[in-house]
Chain A
Amino acid sequence: GENVEQHPSTLSVQEGDSAVIKCTYSDSASNYFPWYKQELGKRPQLIIDIRSNVGEKKDQRIAVTLNKTAKHFSLHITETQPEDSAVYFCARTGSNNAGNMLTFGGGTRLMVKP
């Protein structure tokens, strides 16, 4: 199937610490893995993504790693700040469907304590 498992469901860190969120997927045809940040009452916002031909991608304090063999990918946030507090969703899409239908994980509520 196309399920995406995301862990942990909640994560509490102290400001300045790192946060890591992990996702696993089952469909080996998956080839694109975005991460979205959703603040309360707002739209999901694309923060970083990675394609299947790349193992790691960084954008300032955010990085994503992908292990295609093990079918898992992770979001790393360094030097966390209170404004990083939100729900984070991983997702995947693949070439098994026309277009780019996204399958989302269940979300991780990140709380950064000042």
Chain B
Amino acid sequence: DAGVTQSPTHLIKTRGQHVTLRCSPISGHKSVSWYQQVLGQGPQFIFQYYEKEERGRGNFPDRFSARQFPNYSSELNVNALLLGDSALYLCASSSLTFTYEQYFGPGTRLTVT
């Protein structure tokens, strides 16, 4: 799990702005999932990508989008930010091929003012 990296660590944005969050999975893992964790709650699933294709999408508006690159890193984009988008955004890495285990990165703390 120490191999999952995310950037930036913290981010402050204004309502209406756009944000891009980045994630690099554990070496050898081909799947990346994104989760939103609001303070005091469990993580909520946003997207999963495997081999650069979307494999799952959670109940989030179209303002949220993501993609996965050939090196298996991933970006999460959020447009037209709302105050309610303030949260910890977690990236999880999984090999998916042989196992269900998901390992989380340190997260990006997004604050929307």
Q: How many residue-residue contacts, CB under 8 A, span A and B?
A: 70
Taking a contact as CB atoms under 8 Å apart, the answer to whether A99 and B102 are in contact is: no
Tell me if B7 is interfacial: C-beta within 8 Å of chain A.
Answer: no
Taking a contact as CB atoms under 8 Å apart, the answer to whether A34 and B1 are in contact is: no
Contact of B50 among A32, A89, A99 (CB under 8 A): A99
Tell me if B96 is interfacial: C-beta within 8 Å of chain A.
Answer: yes
How many Å from the CB of B86 to the closest CB on chain A? 16
Contact of A89 among B1, B42, B48 (CB under 8 A): B42
Q: Which residues of A contact B41 (CB under 8 A)?
A: 106-107
Q: In the complex, what residue of chain A is closest to B44 when comparing beta carbons?
A: A104
Taking a contact as CB atoms under 8 Å apart, the answer to whether A34 and B102 are in contact is: yes
| A interface list, Cβ under 8 A from B | 6, 32, 34, 36, 42-46, 49, 51, 89, 91, 93, 97-107
